[in-house]
Amino acid sequence: MKNIVLIILTACFCLNGLSQKSDKKKPDNLFKESAENGCKCVDSINTINKSKEIILNKISKCIDAQTVAYQMGVKSKRIHSESEKQFYPVNFNTDKNSKEYKDAYYEMESYMMNNCNSLINKIDASDIENKKSYSTNPEAQKFYLKGIKESEKGRYKTAITYFEKALKIDSVFAFAWDNIGICNRMLRNYDQAIYAYNRSLVLDPKGIVPLQNLAVDYKFKKEYYNAISAYNRLAELDKNNPEVYFGIGEIYSLYLKEYEKGLDNMCRAYTIYQQQNSPYSLDAEKIIGVIYTEMKKLGLEDKFNDILEEFDIAPDLN
């Protein structure tokens, strides 16, 4: 297994998979333009009946293309301008194994994670169909699609009415129950959301979407052990799903203050995110940084390093 080096920035309680200076300059217009093009590329990805791995690979290609485009754009402008100091970052190497390229990719990925809603939506997409996922009834499907459009506009109450109409026509329409749950969560109606997810699981006990969202809603209700139980059920179906370990790690470290259990799960999540080229590795890095700070306060820095070593992760403390 390839050793992963993490730079832990204790001053801001976060980690970076690659070096990131705290005094970095704001992205210039060329960088923002490249990121916007990357966001458009991500938005065009079709997630219907696509696996998570395929979706993440396509996202990575969008980020890669715009990282290279930005690097080349900067180089081109430097040839014709003496004002190269305004550009960011300063040095580039388009060799994808180079530190310069990896740093640039990391910056592009980080910026898009914070500024591209499509990126988050596509990462979270899970449209793999099972027998009861979709309805074969055209009328039920029509109401379902209307509900999707309303939810995309943030009109969750209206969306729920359409999903309910779809279910009146086809009572075994699992995706309709899933989306009722998601809309209720957005409305903070957590009990109704949990009810909807459980109805979906009756129809499809192997439903990834309801199990993952069930855990999230239990977390919002502060029913942390119920959330962990839901994540464990999900792990039985998909042991390589990093969301399982991220969710469990987050609960143990941030809410239950059981830092060793939290770190073990968060390192597991981080490793899988890295293997999948998932931008969510950034979130795992930040929480590992928080865990480091808390374990250091408790005199458990050696234990922190031991756990990272188990996952072949080498900490580089700043």
CATH number for the domain that contains residue 271: 1.25.40.10
pLDDT tens readout for residues 24-75 = 456 688 888 888 898 889 888 887 666 667 787 888 888 888 888 888 877 6
Which of 64-78, 184-198, 210-224 is predicted with the least confidence, judged by mean pLDDT?
A: 64-78
- pLDDT bin (cut points 50, 70, 90) of residue 18 is very low
User: Higher model confidence: residue 240 or residue 101?
Assistant: 240
Closest residue by Cα to residue 307 from 292, 287, 286, 317: 292
State the pLDDT at residue 88: 45
State the pLDDT at residue 1: 38
Residue 294 has pLDDT above 90, yes or no: yes
Average model confidence (pLDDT) for the chain? 81
83 and 160 belong to one structural domain: no
Residue 265 within a domain = yes
94 and 148 belong to one structural domain: no
160 and 98 belong to one structural domain: no
Sheet holding 14-16, edge to edge: 14-16, 4-9, 313-317
260 and 194 belong to one structural domain: yes
State the pLDDT at residue 157: 96
Give the span between the Cα atoms of 104 and 1, in whole angstroms. 24
170 and 264 belong to one structural domain: yes
271 and 169 belong to one structural domain: yes
DSSP letter string, 110-135: HHHHHH-HHHHHHHH--B---TTTS-
* CB neighbourhood size of 32 (10 A): 14
Angle at CA 123, nearest 5°, toward 71 and 279? 45
Helix (H, G, I), strand (E, B) or coil at 75: helix
* Domain final residue pick, 124, 151, 183: 124
Helix (H, G, I), strand (E, B) or coil at 32: helix
Torsion of Cα atoms, 44 then 45 then 46 then 48, to 10°: -140
CB 268 within 8 A of CB 284: no
Tokens 């969202």 -> residue: 213
State the pLDDT at residue 216: 92
Residue 279 has pLDDT above 50, yes or no: yes
CB 63 within 8 A of CB 105: yes
State the pLDDT at residue 10: 46
Residue range 146-168: average pLDDT?
94
pLDDT tens readout for residues 305-318 = 999 999 998 776 55
117 and 159 belong to one structural domain: no
170 and 227 belong to one structural domain: yes
Q: Which domain holds residue 160?
A: 138-317
State the pLDDT at residue 299: 96
263 and 160 belong to one structural domain: yes
Angle at CA 187, nearest 5°, toward 184 and 190? 55
Residue range 161-177: average pLDDT?
94
State the pLDDT at residue 56: 78
237 and 270 belong to one structural domain: yes
* Farthest-apart Cα atoms in the chain, separation: 67
Residue 1 within a domain = no
pLDDT tens readout for residues 86-117 = 544 445 555 666 777 777 887 888 788 778 87
* Domain final residue pick, 124, 154, 185: 124
231 and 272 belong to one structural domain: yes
CB 206 within 8 A of CB 237: yes
Residue 8 has pLDDT above 90, yes or no: no
Which of 12-21, 151-160, 229-238 is predicted with the least confidence, judged by mean pLDDT?
A: 12-21
* Domain final residue pick, 124, 150, 171: 124
Please state the domain count of the chain: 2
- pLDDT bin (cut points 50, 70, 90) of residue 21 is very low
- Give the pairing type, strands 4-9 and 14-16: antiparallel
Q: How far is CA 90 from the centre of its chain?
A: 29
State which H helix or E strand residue 187 sits in: none
